[in-house]
Amino acid sequence: MSRFSGLWVFLVLALLLTVNIQFIDQTKPVAETDANASTAGQKQQSTVGPDQMQWKGKIPDYQLLIEQNGNASANFDDISGHWAETSVSLIKSIGLCQGYPDGSFRPDEALTRLEAISLLMQLGDMPDETRPDQVEEEQMAMIPAWGQSAVKKAARLGLITLDDFEPSLPIDRGSLAGWLVKITGIKSAQSQDYPFKDAEGFSAELAESVNCLYQQGIIKGYPDQRFHPQKTISRAEMMVILTRLLGVADPIRLSILSVNDFHGSLTESGSNPGAAKLAAYIGNARERNLEGTIILSGGDMMQGSIDSNLLDGEPVIDMMNAIGFDAMAIGNHEFDWGVETLQKRAQQASFPFLTCNITERKTGQPLPFTKPCIIVEKAGVKIGIIGFTTPETASKVIPSIIDDYEISEPTAIVNSLAAELRQARAQIIIVVGHAGGFLSGDGTWQGEAALMARSLQGVDVLVTAHTHQKYAANLNGMAVVQAAYNGRAVAEVDLDYSTAEQKVCLANLNVIDLKGLNLSEDAAVKAKIEKNNEKIGAIKDRVIGQNQQDLLHDKSMLSPLGQWFTDKLRQAAEADIAFMNGGALKADIPAGAITIGKMWEVLPFENTLCTVSMTGTQIREVLQYGIQNEQHGMIQYSGLGIQYHRCPETGQHLVNVTLSDGTPLQDEKTYRVAINDFLAEGGDGFIMFRQYAELINTQEPIREMIIKAIEKEQTLDFTADDRFQLINN
């Protein structure tokens, strides 16, 4: 028989087999699968691919069909964007499988034993029809009509026995491996050096089957370097295995790891794992995909702890260099020490600082030490990375630092750059930006990054920051992530890129909480932290006083710490009233010893004490803006007693305002008010402070002033009072 006529007969038979097959699956299973399994640390697989093997059965015929028809779409309702979309489409296009009558494929459902044997029988040799029938007709009663032909053939081949076949149960990896080897006739090399840690528990037959398939790259293990023969196979995984069996290359796996808002948390403390453990986790994650891993930061990495602040962020950049970051978006707190210091950190870094929407007002040029975007190549794939900075930076940084720069709305700029990068042959586009979102009470995703994501075009991944949230979502066709703050989590996005189709599929989307993980410490980073601690350890561990009860802070309300702090501010300035923005205080002061290091955590910013003269009317304006401010938090204050009415129907308003001695605040009278230089320059939108007369900046660092006050008192025993009263009726 000619090859053409043989193929024609085969196609007729294949069609008969697949007409009624309810074979089987869209999101990747939580457990590691063949599609994303790692071979890190394992022996290199054979370079002899399936297309070079001498197969028995019909595999060569299907390989020919792939050459002729391998680019067709499967048109299932539930595989668009699925990590196995390419494989499902390919296997469907050559007639090996169908979906369900409702138009779905159900890729993540478990593959049953009957579905597996029905598929594999289409690949194997036809049984010798003269061989005695091994199947009693009454045994076929439990087999659906669409699978009976395949089951009979498998029984005649001795592949199964109907006494224990159990067709509706999921197929496990071990059984599938045995069937694949028997049907295809695949052979292994002579090596008995099995690559999997659990191979010692395998039977001789299972070990041989697994080794054969592993050497040919048809089946893989898990990141723990085990095969796990008892785990089940999903319908999507089976499609990937079949494409490998037919000589089709796997898509290229690209892994994007990201952190954000690290805020100098170099040392392990509470829920913060510290730099050495963070580095170890990222290093281990990268080992799973050495050639295809990208490491990004969403910004706000340096400012926030004494470990970093005393050295202007230098040890954080050292850590990031050691880990191997590929790029960082510039956050608002990167400007806290001024542009000159930021430039030094950019020059120190072995990776680029990215922002596409900050330009010099005079020239219109970008910051000279930044880039709007870059193209990197990982695992042979060109990846465009665009960075941006939240426009909120203009109100969150001391204005004199940022006044010379324009911070534009980034969405249109990002879309334009994405198009340019595609023209420059970037195959994947990642946006990393210092802007974030949050889940609202009704479960919808809100905020700056959420709005932006809905308008981005041609972007595959959006890495966000700024709002200190933990989320992983698929929005507007892109993966959107944020990894909490202080190094407590790492966002992980895995993409599968098909070079043949030039198409990317989302394979994995997660944010890994590092708390509770049994993490080791990266030796190189640990050594850097220890060296840094030698420089600053004696300073930050010095005890300056004792606290009798917790002083807690929540910037959404007037907090005990906010009350105590503004009391000290008012006393130091000999003022009538004191105000402090809620975001100026960054940590609680717990009961116990108070150290210099703790005060740096509480007050990480280099703010100075200012005074201003304000009328009672102007003070009321500050209160109306600052009390119920969801964006920036509640204004913290001292020297006032306030009764406040909050009503959705009539709005929010002040009912009564008195001074601390109980006398009413007089609208026309002028009062001496203490604030920090951030508020004095209109930070957090308090532009009214820039309009008032007699502003005096004492240049006295507020942190040092508070430290001296604690040293003088030695013991703190502060109880919050009722200076703010909410009137609900």
CATH number at residue 610: 3.90.780.10
pLDDT in tens, 478-492: 999 999 999 999 999
Are 235 and 277 contained in the same domain? no
Q: Given a cut of 80, is residue 15 above it in pLDDT?
A: no
Domain count, the chain: 3
Q: State residue 28's pLDDT score.
A: 36
**Are residues 719 and 687 both part of a single domain?**
yes
Provide CB contacts within 8 A for 169, sequence distance 6+. Answer: 112, 113
Same domain for 262 and 369, yes or no, is: yes
Distance of alpha carbon 469 from alpha carbon 485, whole angstroms:
7
- Residue at a domain's end among 533, 549, 581: 533
Tell me the angle at which helices 3-18 and 59-69 cross, rounded to the nearest 10 degrees. Answer: 90
Q: How far is CA 94 from the centre of its chain?
A: 37
Span 88-136, pLDDT tens digits: 888 888 888 888 889 999 999 999 999 999 998 888 765 555 455 556 6
Q: Average of pLDDT values for 552-562? A: 93
Per-residue tokens: 285 = 């994650």
Q: What's the whole-model pTM score? A: 0.66
Whether 190 and 327 map to the same domain: the answer is: no
Ramachandran region, residue 583 (left: φ > 0; alpha: ψ -120 to 50; beta: rest): alpha
What distance in Å separates the CA atoms of residue 484 and residue 512, rounded to the nearest whole number?
A: 10
596 & 529 share domain: no
Alpha helical stretches, state H, 514-635: 523-540, 560-573, 596-602, 616-626
Angle of CA points 638, 644, 646, to nearest 5°: 140
Distance of CA 445 to the CA centre of its chain: 16
pLDDT at 662 over 70: yes
pLDDT of 619: 94
* pLDDT tens string 174-218: 999 999 988 877 776 555 566 788 888 899 889 888 988 888 888
Q: What is the DSSP string of 20-49?
A: S---------SS--TTT---TTSPPPPS--
For 8, the domain range is 3-245
Helix then strand then coil, % of the chain, to nearest 5: 35, 20, 45
CATH number of the domain that residue 474 is part of: 3.60.21.10
pLDDT at 9: 32
The β-bridge relationship of strands 696-701 and 608-615 is: antiparallel
Q: Which long-range contacts (CB under 8 A, 24 or more apart) does 641-647 make?
A: 641/723, 641/725, 642/723, 642/724, 642/725, 643/725, 643/727, 644/724, 644/725, 644/726, 644/727, 645/726, 645/727, 645/728, 646/726, 646/728
Strand arrangement, sheet containing 715-716: 592-595, 543-547, 715-716
Single residue among 482, 509, 533 that ends a domain in this structure:
533
What is the SS3 assignment for 493?
A: strand
Nearby residues of 184 by Cβ (< 8 Å), 6 or more positions away: 55, 56, 57, 59, 123, 124, 245
Asked whether residue 461 falls in the same domain as residue 337, the answer is yes
**Backbone CA torsion sign across 109, 112, 115, 118:** positive
Question: What is the pLDDT confidence band of residue 506, given thresholds at 50, 70 and 90?
Answer: confident
Under 8 Å CB-to-CB from 616, ≥6 apart: which residues?
657, 665, 666, 667, 668, 669, 671
The pLDDT tens digits of the residues spanning 143-178 come to 888 888 888 888 887 888 888 888 899 999 999 999
What's the confidence (pLDDT) of residue 195? Answer: 75
Residue-level pLDDT at 68: 66
State the pLDDT confidence band at 393, using cuts at 50, 70 and 90.
very high
pLDDT at 232: 94
Q: In the structure, how many helices (H) and strands (E) does the chain have?
A: 22, 27
576 lies in the same domain as 650: yes
Distance CA 580, CA 717 (A): 21
- Name the β-bridge partners of 611: 674, 696
Average pLDDT over residues 246-250: 78
Print burial letters for 581-603: b (CB count within 10 Å at least 16), e (below 16): bbebbbbbbeeeebbbbbbbbbb
Per-residue pLDDT band at 269 (split at 50, 70, 90): confident
Same domain? For 442 and 506 the reply is: yes
Same domain flag for 494 and 571: no
Q: How far is CA 440 from CA 444, 483, 707, in A?
A: 5, 18, 38
> Could you tell me the pLDDT band of residue 16, with boundaries at 50, 70 and 90?
very low
The closest alpha carbon to 263, from 219, 298, 293, 229, belongs to 298
Cα atoms in the 13 Å half-sphere on the side-chain side of 341 = 16
493 and 606 share a domain? no
Same domain for 497 and 550? no
Tell me how far apart the alpha carbons of residues 511 and 259 are, in angstroms, rounded to a whole number.
Answer: 10
Which whole number is the average pLDDT over 640-654? Answer: 76
Decide if pLDDT at 700 tops 90. no
Residue 592 phi, psi (nearest 5): 120, -160
Calpha distance 498→85 (Å, rounded): 10
610 in the same domain as 575:
yes
Last residue of a domain, one of 533, 565, 583: 533
CA distances (Å), 330 to each of 256, 298, 433, 574, 656, in order?
18, 7, 8, 39, 43
**Which residues are bridge partners to 370 per DSSP?**
none
Three-class DSSP category at 531: helix
> 442-480, pLDDT tens digit by residue?
777 788 998 999 999 999 999 999 989 999 988 878 999
Q: What is the mean pLDDT of residues 308-317?
A: 93
